A and B are shown apart, each in its own frame.
Chain A
Amino acid sequence: MRRYRFGSGTGRFVGNTEKFSVYEDVISIGPKPLEGKRYERAPGEFSFSYGPLTGGLLESVAFDFETPGELIKSVRVEPYSKVRTIAIKGLTPQDALLRVERINGFHAASHSIAYEMAVEDALGVEPPEGVLFSRIVMLELERIRSNLLVVKRLCEPAGFGVPMNEVYYLTEKVSRLISAVSGHRYFFSSTYVGGCDIKVENLATSIKGVAFEFEKIFDGLLQSKIFLNRLQNNGKTDHDSDLLGPSARAAGKRVDARDDADILPYKDLGFNPVLFDEPDAFGRFYVRSIEIIRSAEIIENAVNLCSNGPQRRGVTDSGEGAARVESPQGDLFYYVKIDRGVIEDVQISSPSLLNINAFKKSMVGNIFTDYHFNWESFGIWVSELAVVLT
């Protein structure tokens, strides 16, 4: 492994896999215990269950709120209702990719690219620099759509129909751009180990238009006191929590794999993470919104440097590798072990694990009507968490 080593955990904690705890550049054997206190119900309090099936949520996830009536005293999140067992071991890396990109289809580019770079690390594949820039374009397009969806879903419970639909229009527009770039609205089968297959003609102009339109909506939302009131001081995160992605950056923490993983040439594009100093739903909304505009700028700068190949081959058929990319929710890590051309082990650390933990703590002291804003502001996806890779 070129970027990771096994050892005791030091540096920034990134998350747990089934077998490992993962840090910035160290993999430690055994998952790190995550803090979580058992809540003792006080007299007069009751448990209110919500989910796993409800039209208000994008995915199946169950919540148990402990409350005396409105104030949330504790919340338990059960993301494993729809846990899927996905057979990956024993497949070739390319066959396994068909399943990896469907772990979280909405963020297929992040999962595919992290996995491919782990495989490339294991097999000694050196992708051409142009392919690395193509990957940046894919990741940033995915980030723009993901962040737009979060903003849309924040407008929805506030009853802000016009901005909600305006943002939703842009979300669909980006899906169509992704389709034009990769042939598929979710990047499926458009990227592979050592290369990719995308077309970036006219992308810079189109994405600039999306960012321009969004900026006007964003300015309008920042002037809407009712909207801001629903977000500010809602779901404040604890500074000591392990936070990832926009949740961390909203709390002022310089936490971004684009900044510290040094795996994709973001620094050549002058990348700097967006930081803010309000660790609540508003801060997360703000950071995600600014990142939409910044990601569009990154794409504009990267498109002229993109290429699809030539595809490079590995120098070995066995080895172990690891890679971490910044998915829209935070650090996404893959570890693979390959033996004579087939996957022997694969481990994934999803940012949603730590984000759920932070969400649970941030809900305490809020009221139930705050819950939707807070949950959506974290942009959690349980599909990437509720998987068992066999």
Chain B
Amino acid sequence: MTNFWFLNGLKKGVKTERFPAAEPEEPPVWPSRLKGSGSYECPTDAIVGGEWIQERCIFCRRCVPSFTPTQSQNIYHIRSVEPMFRKSFYLYPVDSGACGACNTEFFNIFSPQYDANRLGIFMTNTPRHADAIVVMGVGSPGMAEALERAYEAMPSPKLIIALGVCALTGGVMGNSPMNREKYNVEIAGCPPSPYTIISAIMAAKEKKGEM
């Protein structure tokens, strides 16, 4: 019995995808980058003047067929990066008023299929050890102080990553918990897939171009 799990684990072999070195194996259709043109009465004003605005989109499919999904998971925006975090990047999640979907997608980047640890991405249980806070959900009065104190507790240099449309613009659910000017990394999606989250975090820590 002692070795049961050890041997069982070895027998299963490596289950981790080669992503981001290779293309995603099973990218979801929704959410993904949309392409198209035309006007549509979007519930979150994500289509203005025929242009699609990823930070507002909840991917509700109402604009289909004028706009169609491409399955491209690159729906993020990097405002600023910190080269110091290139080798290891510790993240502290902050649920400021999320529905639970962003929370689980963030944690999913540590599942065997993605194994974010191999990429130098780690989670920490205290903001004192964090390089960045990952803000999820709309702003809620009860979490405003906790969010502020978590940010203040982080040592500098530090980043703020906004994960999901609620944190970015509020989507259909409310208002953003912070001033968007404060965000260093903006990850669109409702919720963003683990592929998108990893791509954005890697871009932030490896000083890659903006999407």
- Where the two chains meet, the residues of A that have a C-beta atom closer than 8 Å to any C-beta of B are 52-56, 58-60, 80-86, 95, 98-99, 102-108, 149, 160-163, 165-166, 168-169, 171-173, 175-176, 179-180, 183-186, 188-189, 220, 223-224, 381, 383, 386
Contacts and interface: CB of A to CB of B under 8 A. Distances in A.
Given A184-B30, A188-B60, A60 B102 contact: no
B135 to A, nearest CB: 11
A83 B140 contact: yes
29 contacts: A55-B92, A58-B104, A58-B107, A59-B95, A59-B98, A82-B97, A82-B142, A82-B143, A83-B142, A98-B58, A102-B99, A102-B171, A103-B99, A104-B100, A106-B101, A162-B5, A162-B6, A169-B112, A172-B113, A173-B113, A183-B29, A183-B61, A184-B29, A184-B30, A185-B193, A188-B60, A189-B59, A381-B100, A383-B100
Contact of B94 (A53, A85, A166, A171): A53
A106 B143 contact: no
A299 B144 CA distance: 43
B98 A98 contact: no
A162 B9 contact: yes
A176 B193 CA distance: 11
Contacts of A60: 94-96, 143, 146
A3 to B, nearest CB: 27
Interface residues of B, number: 60
A179 B193 CA distance: 11
B170 to A, nearest CB: 11
Given A179-B29, A188-B190, A220-B5, A172 B111 contact: yes
Contacts of A161: 5, 9
Given A56-B125, A58-B107, A162-B6, A86 B173 contact: yes
B108 A172 contact: yes
Given A98-B172, A183-B28, A184-B29, A55 B138 contact: no
Given A98-B60, A162-B8, A55 B43 contact: no
Contacts of A386: 140
B112 A168 contact: yes
Given A98-B58, A105-B102, A383-B98, A81 B146 contact: yes
B104 A81 contact: no
Contacts of B93: 55
Given A98-B43, A186-B191, A223-B1, A55 B125 contact: yes
B168 to A, nearest CB: 14
A82 B99 contact: no
B95 to A, nearest CB: 4
A102 B97 CA distance: 11
Nearest to A217: B8
Contacts of A224: 1, 4-5
Contacts of B112: 165, 168-169, 172
B6 to A, nearest CB: 7
Interface in B39-98: 43, 58-61, 92-98
Given A58-B100, A223-B1, A84 B174 contact: yes
B173 A99 contact: yes
Contacts of A83: 97, 140-142
B123 interface: yes
Nearest to B62: A189
Contacts of A54: 125
Nearest to A99: B172
Contact of A188 (B15, B30, B111): B30
A385 B113 CA distance: 31
